[in-house]
Chains A and B, each alone.
Chain A
Amino acid sequence: MLFSSLHDAPRCGRLPMGSTGPILLLEGLTVAYPPAGGAAAEPVLRGLDLTLQPGERLALVGPSGCGKSTVARAVLQLLPPGSRSGGRLELLGRDPRRLGRAALNRLRGEAVGLVFQDPMTRLNPLLSIGDHLTDTLRAHRPGDPRRELRARALDLLQRVGIEADRFGSYPHEFSGGMRQRVAIALAMALRPPLVIADEPTTSLDVAVSGQVMAELTGLCRELGSALLLITHDLATAGRWCDRLAVLHEGRLLEEGPAQRVLGAPSEPLTRRLVAAARRREGGASPEPPRAPVVLELHQLRCWHPLPGLPWQQRWLKAVDGVSLQLHAGETVGVVGASGCGKSTLCRALMGLAPVRGGEVLLQGRDLRRLRGGALREARRRLQMVFQDPLACLNPAMTVEEAIADPLLIHGLADRPEARRRAHEQLEAVGLPAAFGPRLPRQLSGGQQQRVAIARALVLRPTVLLCDESVSMLDAEVQAEVLDLLRDLQQRLGLGMIFVTHDLGVASGFCHRVIVLDRGRIAEEGPGDVLLCAPMAPITRRLVEACPRLPPAA
């Protein structure tokens, strides 16, 4: 009923859609990006074979850098100019590489809809949500009257769960999940027989990503579109797709029904990936160590004033009375859905967000009462590792400069000494000294995060805050970084506060877990217990939203 106007839409000028044959056919597809800096680029895809039948849902998985996203770009011809591509590539029986501009533009959108990873940057900030939709519809159906386009755009929005009165809202007024819904509506606007979703939920939190995936697959089923889901998350792939294709170094490694590939992987790499993903789902929480308390919070409150009249002040209570004790060598996980206040908690501890009330005792001294030199000294004992290592490292600073910088800022070493300590630190996080003169963007995501950890630890802190520090990494790299953190903790006796939206990761890694909901502690205990027997409704929601791998065969 909702979609009736779409179904009745005139079919004139549609692309030929043969009912027979695959939607997408790749045979020996090779793609190489244009050479950078004079060196001939290694091909990213080296002979990929893949077919997708109408209405099928296929997940393309693999470790980062295996060429997953390149497949989407190749199909839509969004490769940067100068890229080379060979082999067979057929979309609805036609090769997009041989099409002229106009035909290619019709193919994009009408034959394939693409949903990107980062919903924050993929929408034009100056265009309203409704204009995005009508703009796309008008580009493909130039003759249709304005009123009809608007009605269809409204229909689409409602279909992805966005109220009609948000039609005129702008992207910045939407949350990540809402924006991704808009992106889905845009990709589906012309009812393409194929939808490619490139890591559509990676930047969303667990609860929201479950809803978004449900919308996406539901719409695909309703319109009979095939779905090509590109993801590094095996559990998501297995939860939402029938078939799974594992990609490695630009080739197809293994392909089959999702249950079979995940339950009984035949290739060693797939087995490793599945094992890493299983480890993420949570293991037994380690026994907490007996050690002195290093950090203590008493009824910490971070309230932000909301705009309003001065005599009726309203507050956004981001953190509202959180108390906890952290022992040396202990890891406390802070888990919650987005907006629960976990990042504000971290920022408040670092002195980056204003604290409204309560006490923060670092080794018995109240941080809020310290001033000047004593505060600087105390801050040195509290360091943080952020979510996005590339964003938090100065792009113009080499790795060794970045690591040495805190020493220079605090005046703890002169330049040669700082350099020496930086090299030591590189070694401690498992990176070769040769990485010293490199720039952050020349490293992989995991290596960048190691550099960020090295920088945080060079000041020999007592407490390390990790704010979603591993959530951008794929399962295998994530496990490696977690191992490194665990190892460093044991060697240095670090107290760690580990903020994450993923209860599974927290349960295997942290000694204790705190579940935050609307700024308050909802539940507290060992992670494995919370995972098996969640008591608070929010914990139950978090556990249920988490996609899980099928049991091993």
Chain B
Amino acid sequence: MSRRGRLARYLAGRALLAPVMLWLIATLVFLLLRVAPGDPVDALLGTRASAAARDALRQQLGLDRSLPVQYVEFLQGLVHADLGQSLVSARPVTQIVREVLPASLELGLAALLVALVLGLAAGFSGIARPEGRLDLAGRLYGIATYALPSFWAAMVLQLIFAVGLGWFPVGGRFPPTRVPPSGSGFYLLDGLLAGSWSTVTAALHHLTLPAVTLGLLLSGIFDNALRLNLRRALRSDYVEAARSRGLGEVRVVLRHALPNALLPVLTIAGITVASLIGGALLIENIFSWPGIALKLQEAINQRDYPLVQGIVVVVAALVVLVTLVVDVLVALLDPRLSF
């Protein structure tokens, strides 16, 4: 079979596998929440409510039915993209997720951009002179940013740039005095589409500090990954062979060493993005960023089962999607991969 045919088959296989993985994750989430201690009725009504009121609520929420029935209903809803209703606000979970997800995605994408630019630049910096000053500085940068506790770094940056210097707002996503743009929920995009320059600058003003903080903390991974892989590639036999044919150093690095070094970095970037989607909790917390992680924390504290369930399933779906995209990219870029 041709390479293209095999590739198509591989992609189809991966795409078919994705729903199965989602189903497994959803089941796991469903079970874990039911096994975990704590009763949502307690959380909603308090422990001193009457037995009748408790039973009424229990029935209203569907918690009186057996576990298998609840599970089947949960799955039925999932198939119809219905994640149930929030216990606390009585609004559909999908609606809540649609409100908070763009904020997290906007922050995550901006942070990833910052991390890639900073990390790859730092990783590439030492190439001209291994063990030179620039190389050492880059290495130190990588270790330091990687090792920094994120909550501490975020608070320090917030103290300096928001509280002390006042360059950026302390928290939030948009000035409270203004009406946020409507549309996709991505404020930058909405502002650009509407052609409203003031919206864009206001959104950027709020986005910059959290995104740079998160990006800085992530950049160490890219820095180290690129540095190590690039050095290995530059010492490889095929690079020596390329040099022996009289290829200039720029060509050797850009055409022979860098692509080979970037392939593993791509995989690492995929894993990082996946962890970013749910893992920006501390940053969202410190900068009061109204994202999905903050919402999840709130839902957990209120024992809002359907909401927790819905958010986790959505995040898991995104992780599965990102992993799929990265796998496909690697398969397209690396001719050695057999599928």
Residues of A within 8 A of B (CB): 76, 78, 101-102, 104-110, 113-114, 116, 118, 121-128, 135-136, 139-140, 170, 172, 183, 186-187, 189, 307
Contacts and interface: CB of A to CB of B under 8 A. Distances in A.
B104 to A, nearest CB: 34
A102 B247 CA distance: 10
A186 B256 CA distance: 15
Given A108-B246, A135-B251, A135-B255, A116 B237 contact: yes
Contacts of B239: 124
B334 interface: yes
Nearest to B335: A170
Interface in B44-59: none
B242 A170 contact: no
A140 B251 contact: no
A276 B302 CA distance: 84
B335 A172 contact: yes
A21 B162 CA distance: 75
Q: Which 8 pairs across A and B sit closest by C-beta, in order of nearness?
A: A109-B246, A108-B246, A121-B237, A170-B335, A105-B246, A122-B241, A114-B244, A109-B245
Contacts of A128: 335
B237 A118 contact: yes
Contacts of A136: 245-247
A125 B335 contact: yes
B260 interface: yes
A125 B260 contact: yes
A139 B246 contact: yes
Contacts of B240: 78, 122
B336 interface: yes
Q: Which of B242, B245, B259, B335 has the most CB of A within 10 A?
A: B245
Interface residues of B, number: 25
B246 A110 contact: yes
Nearest to B233: A124
Interface in B312-339: 333-336
A105 B248 contact: yes
A76 B255 CA distance: 21
B260 A108 contact: no
B238 A121 contact: yes
A124 B242 contact: yes
A15 to B, nearest CB: 11
Contacts of A114: 241, 244-245
B1 to A, nearest CB: 8
Contacts of A135: 242, 247, 251, 255
B236 interface: yes
B237 A186 contact: no
A127 B245 contact: no
A135 to B, nearest CB: 6
Contacts of A307: 1
B243 interface: yes
Contacts of A183: 241
A125 B246 contact: no
Contacts of A107: 246
B249 interface: yes
Nearest to B333: A126
Contacts of B263: 126
Nearest to A107: B246
Contacts of A124: 238-239, 242, 255-256, 260
Contacts of A126: 259-260, 263, 333-335
A307 B243 CA distance: 39
